[in-house]
Structure 1
């Protein structure tokens, strides 16, 4: 299945323009299915699927599919985010009949009764940013990601590669030969994605620190769209963006994307702890609805003030995941706002095999309860709030892994939804087993982190982050004390 972009520019002289995705050089030979991101004047507004015959024009076919569904999508997403509403968990999924096309769940609109988002601010230049890419022994994928990052239209940024627990010199050799002078390199000997991210944060400069993975291709406008909101909103602590598939060539990839993949929709959303979303009684502990670690950015001061990422979470640790979720909740718990910006787009290379998907399902479950355990262990003051929401949380956890038909019914032609691709029961069971394992995995990882520190209480990157946070806290205390004396 080919991946493409369809730009519906009503002001353009040539009508809709179809271009093929970063991983595929052109349309499928002869007849075939095409999964397309639909843009209106450059802004992502939907995804559609069309089957193109051997003698048909792909752009005309996909445009017709989109126009048949114009009602649900209508005009492009508004420039300002709507208040947050519940977003289906990323594993409310269900295995494909491989011959069946991927389909798309309709984008939900925020209830009109909820309070409007803050008024638009004056557009200013995006702030100085460091892009951190953590990687481990995947030089080929990394090169593809770095090429896309160096093509960004952001006016002021640097790219920093964190080589996590390397076995060979392949990553260092790649950076120093092919990207010398354009990409910076840091080596972090301790394994774990969160540890690598903390090392990157410690070495970063600028107002914003953005994070992405080595298996993505960033849209040229990605970094600008991801970081510009920080200049417009001083209270913003985190921004996340849209993640779409770079390739859909295996049944495992099709299954994952047919249930939303990593995407969180095309409506901008603003999460404000001062005004919790009415439709999310579990807020802010529904961190999976906020975004994903492959596409996120933090105000550097806010991230360092909360101590960065928990090094006992994330890929490469016994916890299996949860590092991004932990950071989202910590940022919100400190009173910062979080924004989802679908214009900040990266193309992600989904797992290709069924075993990869099984590992991913288990890791999602483990990461979910591991991050909750991390929150309670490291920040027990949040326990009362979590306990108050726990009954609903348990029901929610069971619901997102339940094997059940799609309540929305059969999707419209050209959409993608759950009924065409039922999620296997064994993957649901794997996710629930991961949830049971998560707290134990986190505790194992926490013990290992302390042992690896060799006498230090935190790994090097986290220690730097915490040291900076302590200095800032002491400075604030001194200022308050002087003010009280006067």
Structure 2
């Protein structure tokens, strides 16, 4: 479902008015989102600005911490048979205001030469390089990108995003300010909300992690997160993340038996976050680094995504225990709370006031409508994840890290 009965999807007219989703910025920084009703003849900007003033409470923020210079970066974009969306993403990446970066397109187990031809014909000589990764799976593709990168800071995004022009600068500057930092993640907001599936995903929190910068440091665990560091979904998502190359390589990069395109269904980004935190490296979330994500449009895709979320989470936990068995005692200590959290996260919810307005929910609240069918799929995915990881490990058995020996 999307909006409640009687409400059209966002952006579609309803008796001469439209509901419009907008990201609100204050002095260039994102502070929230609103959904406004714009009638025929209204100025959308004025309507949404008035609503933002009325709805969004911006607390007095402390002085921003010092930020460093944006270091040289490699942007890795893994893709498979999606030349149209890829071109849109690459155009936005080439418009970045970052002073020194390159782009590596990783063609993952392609069936055709469409991606290679696109890069060669439209992006040759423009700072975009093409590399091939024959082993299927997002983690394997990201590892190939690590091997091909020429910079010490590696940024990762997907082929279904549009990057804000300031995205890469905002995502990489924290590395210049803090030499201990190993990972930075950023804000993911929807590029379109026009179908019920897209609206439902965003109403359940989407990929956003809020509008407040946050630092996660194993030396100072967050008091409000008793499951730390195993609540990996709080830290960020794979469409908007960056790593310092040294620490990422030191933990073996991404586990190739995780990620979209493998039997594990997902979990590659979560694995990297938790693995680095477990080694004592801090992670920082910065909402100033924004990408606009094209959510899947069809109900069938949302169903597959719900199942994949559950499977990816437990596949990630399986990968962590296989790769770092010492994490078993702290994981077992947190298991009762973790099970309760999983039940809450996947619980079905009826349409209430949120459903009537269609206002997207804050990440981690899980108070917005979520159909019972999707809850069942998520829970089935949770049960399947470890088996999927075992199957994926057997499939990639014998593969090596592509940067070894370089």
Per the TM superposition, whether the score is higher than 0.5 is yes
Contact 1:403–1:428 under 8 Å retained in 2: yes
The 3-state SS of whatever aligns with 1:236 is coil
Once residues 415 and 430 of structure 1 are traced to their aligned partners in structure 2, the CA distance between those partners, rounded to angstroms, is: 24
Cα distance, 1:28 vs structure 2: 7.3
The 3-state SS of whatever aligns with 2:30 is strand
* 1:283-302 matched pairs, under 5 angstroms: 283-302=228-247
What does the per-residue CA deviation read over 1:352-406, in whole Å, with 9 as the maximum and x for residues that have no partner?
0000000000000000000000001111011111111111111111111112469
| Structure 2: gaps spanning 5 or more residues | 1-9
Q: Structure 1 residues 210, 279: CA separation in 2 closer, same or farther (over 3 Å shift)?
A: same
Contact 1:410–1:419 under 8 Å retained in 2: no
Partner of 2:120: 176
What does the per-residue CA deviation read over 1:66-94, in whole Å, with 9 as the maximum and x for residues that have no partner?
12124x3345x6564xxxxxxxxxxxxxx
Q: Structure 1 residues 68, 318: CA separation in 2 closer, same or farther (over 3 Å shift)?
A: same
Q: Pick from 128, 134, 144: which aligns with 2:78?
A: 134
Once residues 301 and 78 of structure 2 are traced to their aligned partners in structure 1, the CA distance between those partners, rounded to angstroms, is: 20
* 1:301-380 matched pairs, under 5 angstroms: 301-380=246-325
The 3-state SS of whatever aligns with 2:182 is strand
Once residues 197 and 463 of structure 1 are traced to their aligned partners in structure 2, the CA distance between those partners, rounded to angstroms, is: 10
Task: Name the TM-score, length of structure 2 as normaliser.
Answer: 0.92
Q: How many equivalent pairs are there? A: 392
What does the per-residue CA deviation read over 1:137-170, in whole Å, with 9 as the maximum and x for residues that have no partner?
0000000000000000000100000000011000
Once residues 232 and 341 of structure 1 are traced to their aligned partners in structure 2, the CA distance between those partners, rounded to angstroms, is: 13
Contact 2:214–2:286 under 8 Å retained in 1: yes
Is 1:431 aligned to residue 372 of structure 2? no
Is 1:397 aligned to residue 342 of structure 2? yes
What does the per-residue CA deviation read over 1:12-41, in whole Å, with 9 as the maximum and x for residues that have no partner?
xxxxxxxxxxxx9x9979621110000111
* 1:3-402 matched pairs, under 5 angstroms: 31-70=17-56, 72-74=57-59, 80=64, 120-121=65-66, 123-182=67-126, 183-402=128-347
Contact 1:129–1:206 under 8 Å retained in 2: yes
Once residues 352 and 149 of structure 1 are traced to their aligned partners in structure 2, the CA distance between those partners, rounded to angstroms, is: 23
Cα distance, 1:416 vs structure 2: 3.7
Partner of 2:7: none
Contact 1:78–1:268 under 8 Å retained in 2: no
C-alpha RMSD over aligned residues: 2.3
Partner of 2:4: none
Cα distance, 1:228 vs structure 2: 0.2
What does the per-residue CA deviation read over 1:403-433, in whole Å, with 9 as the maximum and x for residues that have no partner?
24699x7699794449996211010000000
Q: Structure 1 residues 213, 295: CA separation in 2 closer, same or farther (over 3 Å shift)?
A: same
Contact 1:163–1:186 under 8 Å retained in 2: yes
Contact 1:309–1:324 under 8 Å retained in 2: yes
Contact 1:405–1:419 under 8 Å retained in 2: no
Task: Name the TM-score, length of structure 1 as normaliser.
Answer: 0.77
Contact 1:238–1:337 under 8 Å retained in 2: yes
Once residues 37 and 338 of structure 2 are traced to their aligned partners in structure 1, the CA distance between those partners, rounded to angstroms, is: 41
Once residues 275 and 405 of structure 1 are traced to their aligned partners in structure 2, the CA distance between those partners, rounded to angstroms, is: 38
Q: Which of 1 and 2 has greater Rg?
A: 1
